[in-house]
Structure 1
Amino acid sequence: MDGHWVKPVVRTLADQVADTILEGIARGHYKAGETLPSQRALAQRLGVGLAVVREAIQRLQILRILSAKQGRGTIVESVGWTQLMFEPSLGILALERHAIARIWEARNGIEKETALLATRRATAADLATMRAIIEQAGDGLEKYDDNHRLNHAFHGAIASASKNTVLVEMLEPLLRIDVGMKRKVYDVGLSRRSWQVHRRIFEAIESRDEAAVAAAMADHASALDAEMHKFEAVLREQAGAAERFTMVG
């Protein structure tokens, strides 16, 4: 595999403003049915131009997070779980009501089952795909985007090797969710430990050793827990600065 296949993600100022509004919604500063401050007020609060705010709001309207109501301004819409699952750019909204813990719990359960099934059903081609991903990841990845995409590819390859299309379809949207704020707390040390566990999972699948797969997946769950606790600690720390997201019109 080409080590340079991952393309850099360029985020515009409008993207950042949209993320800020999403964080405000996720933290409950703007609830479904409520009206956002005026675009001019948002622009002044965030220190950006009116055109940037307008573009950010238009993007969120396309995603059905916001809507324009005659005589009321810009309204926050109710976001359903299905919408969140199948639109990864809305991953930040998973913060609402601690849904992150439920997402990772669901992921862990499905990943464990697909790994056990892959131990029995993986073909030589499946194993070659997993091996290539493990080799590309090496001892860990410096950049969050690279880690997220290769992690997605690895667990997707295991799911495919399970030969259970229902589990594949259940896992795919969970893998696609990319919680933007995780970029701010990305830990290269955790990435290294995670890929060490991924290598153990692969070697256990390759050896057709279900007991070793179960043990490795238990360690993988512990790694996810450590990541989640780190993430939640940062969120609690940032809660004191919540005024930044309370953009009063």
Structure 2
Amino acid sequence: MTDTRRLYQQTADRVRQLIAKGDYQPGARLPAERELAQQLGVSRPSLREALIALEIDGTIEIRMGSGIYVLNTTRPSGNGRSLGESPSELMQARAVIESAIIVQAAATMTDETIAALRAILAAMADDITQGRKPIEQDRAFHLAIAESADNTLLAEIVTNLFDERHSPLSAGIRGHFETTDSWTAALTEHHAILAALEARDPLAAQAAMHTHLAASGRRWLET
């Protein structure tokens, strides 16, 4: 029977099997991500998602700057339990959908929306300066662009995709890999999107949005 579970669930079970076989005892450090990904024949993003899932269920602990350590060798299989959508697939979906939406949004963009976007980015910059994670400002920026396309279904899709960032899996990845530097990079990319919208240049806006979301996915899953 074909395994229809998400790839990160399948990969997590393969790591569990390595642990269950006795290859790695409690307290042992797993191979580095790159080596383990090669061993399992999966991409680093898929492996990182699997490792976050294993950390959530208490099988391993990820210690930034130190390594990945086994905590428990008796954890059962995940039993198909989903911790949310794959963050790599989520960011790919957002790149496709939001890059298409912004073309339409650029054609209907008003001066009022441009001003609102500027205010959102100013608040985002303030959050970063104060050491706060500006996820609500990030959400407001992307949703304001989607809403300006004058299509409620498209705006709802963007909202649902963005809010998947609060799933256990995405939240676990954000907790480890979002930093002040990553948010500063995102803010710079947002300004590039806004500049293209101010110029009423739909192709430049599309390119800037795709560049931003692709870079966001890399910061989460490949750094």
TM-score w.r.t. the length of structure 2 is 0.58
1:130 aligns with 2:120: no
> Which of 76, 79, 84 is residue 94 of structure 1 equivalent to?
84
Q: Post-superposition, which runs of at least 4 consecutive aligned residues in structure 1 deviate over 4 A?
A: 19-22, 25-30, 142-145
Amino acid at match of 2:57: G
Q: How does 1:126-165 map onto structure 2 within 5 Å?
A: 126-138=113-125, 141=128, 146-165=133-152
The percent of aligned pairs where both chains have the same amino acid is 24
> Which of 98, 107, 111 is residue 98 of structure 2 equivalent to?
111
For the Cα contact (< 8 Å) 2:182–2:219, is it kept in 1?
Answer: yes
Counterpart-to-counterpart distance in 2, 1:164 and 1:143: 35
Q: Structure 1 residue 128: deviation in Å?
A: 1.9
> Which of 201, 211, 214 is residue 209 of structure 1 equivalent to?
201
Deviations along 1:31-85, whole A, 9 cap, x unmatched?
348xxxxxxxxxxxxxxxxxxxxxxxxxxxxxxxxxxxxxxxxxxxx55xxxxxx
Counterpart-to-counterpart distance in 2, 1:117 and 1:26: 46
Q: Structure 1 residue 138: deviation in Å?
A: 2.4
Q: How does 1:197-236 map onto structure 2 within 5 Å?
A: 197-230=189-222
Q: What SS is found at the alignment partner of 2:206?
A: helix
1:183 aligns with 2:175: yes
Provide structure 1 residue ranges, at least 5 long, that are not aligned to the other structure.
1-18, 34-77, 80-92, 234-249
- Paired residues, what number? 153
Q: What SS is found at the alignment partner of 2:78?
A: coil
Q: Structure 1 residue 220: deviation in Å?
A: 0.8
Q: Structure 1 residue 193: deviation in Å?
A: 1.4
Counterpart-to-counterpart distance in 2, 1:170 and 1:26: 34
Counterpart-to-counterpart distance in 2, 1:112 and 1:137: 21
In structure 2, the partner of 1:31 is 78
Q: Structure 1 residue 191: deviation in Å?
A: 1.3
Counterpart-to-counterpart distance in 1, 2:218 and 2:129: 18
Change (3 A) 1:190 1:211: same
Counterpart-to-counterpart distance in 1, 2:185 and 2:151: 28
For the Cα contact (< 8 Å) 2:178–2:220, is it kept in 1?
Answer: no
Counterpart-to-counterpart distance in 1, 2:160 and 2:103: 20
Q: CA RMSD in A?
A: 3.1
TM-score w.r.t. the length of structure 1 is 0.53
Q: Structure 1 residue 153: deviation in Å?
A: 0.8
